[in-house]
Amino acid sequence: MSKTKRNGGLRFQPAGGSRTPQVPTGKKQRLTIERLAGDGRGIAFVEGRTWFVSAALAGEEVEARVLNAHGKVVEARLERVFTPSPLRREAPCRHFDRCGGCNLQHLAHSEQLELKQRLLAEQLQRVAGVVPEQWAAPLSGPEFGYRRRARVAVRWDQRAAKLEVGFRAEASQDIVAIDDCPVLVQPLQSVMRHLPMLLQSLDKPRVVGHVELFSGTALAMLVRHTGPLHDNDLARLQAFCSEAGVQLWLHGEGEPAALDSAASLGFVLEPWNLELAYRPGDFVQVNAGVNTAMIEQALDWLAPQAHERVLDLFCGLGNFALPLAQKAAEVVAVEGVQAMVDRAAANARSNNLNNVRFFQADLSQPVSVSGWAAEGFSAVLLDPPRDGAYEVVRKIAALGAKRLVYVSCNPATLARDTQELLKQGYRLKRAGILDMFPQTAHVEAMALFEVDQPR
């Protein structure tokens, strides 16, 4: 059948009328930024489309370049500022225009805190229809040199026959070559400066998947490898780590392991004289200073008494559970991953804390049916992941807790779960932000809920 006959000489129009032409990638557009989105990008509106422009601030006239577009949403990157906001500053990091990590460096730190406070307040008001009885001052620390853990991206560029080492570019899988990062703690900055040259000198660099750096009771470097390391490469890695005073950890098949089986790695919670063992790959709060302030505030708000039984959900390695155990009669700590439960229990034993018990449970399900929940609790602390703790809080009142501290890394799910807690008779007594990730729009928060006491 010929093309002419198959098409029949007719043109068909898509259902619903003519299709709006898509905005091409790379197109430049002049925009007026109306406000900032929850992720810190500027928002503008042109011809029925919503533009999200990274590195732009409210009130600015800018030129932006399209990264991608879908439907009525256009994602773009700032190219030029015609009318700058008075809040704009020069980004301290020279990689800011490409690296996807710290997207608020162009905004003064005090204004970053105000933005995060506003985002939290808007979510609580819009979703849960509530304002805390008291706003707490932001918990914050140094805006640079705070990050004690970093995952470094590594990829073999087949065309250039070169190993790329750095961090992911914004809205891309591309790797930005980086040998300095001002948000890392100082000891890791020194390691980072020499890391790209080390990895690029390997005989078989293609087997390296990624590298993780950690600074705690010791410095550590984990090398994730997808195939056997060449003997010469292992020797190079060992020599580098030995000279830099860094533990070398390898992660091939199975669990990560230190090359030196006697190596000890962990982090210290100084106000409580506690040391917690840590393995690369475990979850740990990356900002040690804010982590300490967060624990202190949680203990102050929860106010555990010497006769009380306290529940710690999503307990991880025992970051909250062990300080709680120094104040309460008993702490029950629950985590979803058995390996983390085992390590948390070992941390309790090594710190001579015998009044804390650890359990594994699926915390995407209600806890009221669990055996360890049967006796009830005076107080509860939750520190869930980004998707929140909806199923847990739906039945939380059945545990009998009069006080509840919720530590959140996502204001949207905190607001959703707050709505459930309000339905069960809790009041939102206090809330405030935790500036765990300065230079980013990531918002962490803490909220205190109390049950209305009968009058």
| Catalytic residue set | 409
How remote is the C-alpha of 297 from its chain's centroid?
A: 20
Structure tokens at 138: 């932001």
Rounded to whole angstroms, how far apart are CA atoms 403 and 378?
7
C-alpha pair distances (Å), 424 with each of 214, 397, 421, 428, 432: 41, 6, 5, 12, 22
Question: How many contiguous H segments (helices) and E segments (strands) does the chain have?
Answer: 9, 23
Rounded to whole angstroms, how far apart are CA atoms 371 and 392?
15
Tokens 């918002």 map to which residue? 443
DSSP state of 228: P
**First-to-final CA distance of the chain:** 87
77 half-sphere exposure, CB direction, 13 A CA radius = 15
Query: Residue 24, by phi and psi: left (phi above 0), alpha (psi -120 to 50) or beta?
Result: beta
The residue type found at 228 is: P
Task: State the angle between helix axes of 411-423 and 109-123 in degrees (0 to 180), rounded to the nearest 10.
Answer: 40
- The residues near 125 (Cβ < 8 Å, ≥ 6 apart) are 131
Are residues 201 and 230 in contact, defined by beta-carbon separation less than 8 angstroms?
no
Task: For residue 99, list its beta bridge partners.
Answer: 169
Task: For residue 334, list its beta bridge partners.
Answer: 313, 359
Residue in 77, 87, 80 with CA at minimum distance from that of residue 107: 87
The residue type found at 410 is: N
- The residues near 56 (Cβ < 8 Å, ≥ 6 apart) are 31, 33, 41, 42, 44, 62, 64, 78, 81
Are residues 282 and 271 in contact, defined by beta-carbon separation less than 8 angstroms?
no
Residue in 303, 295, 334 with CA at minimum distance from that of residue 401: 303
Structure tokens at 120: 């939290």
How remote is the C-alpha of 211 from its chain's centroid?
A: 18
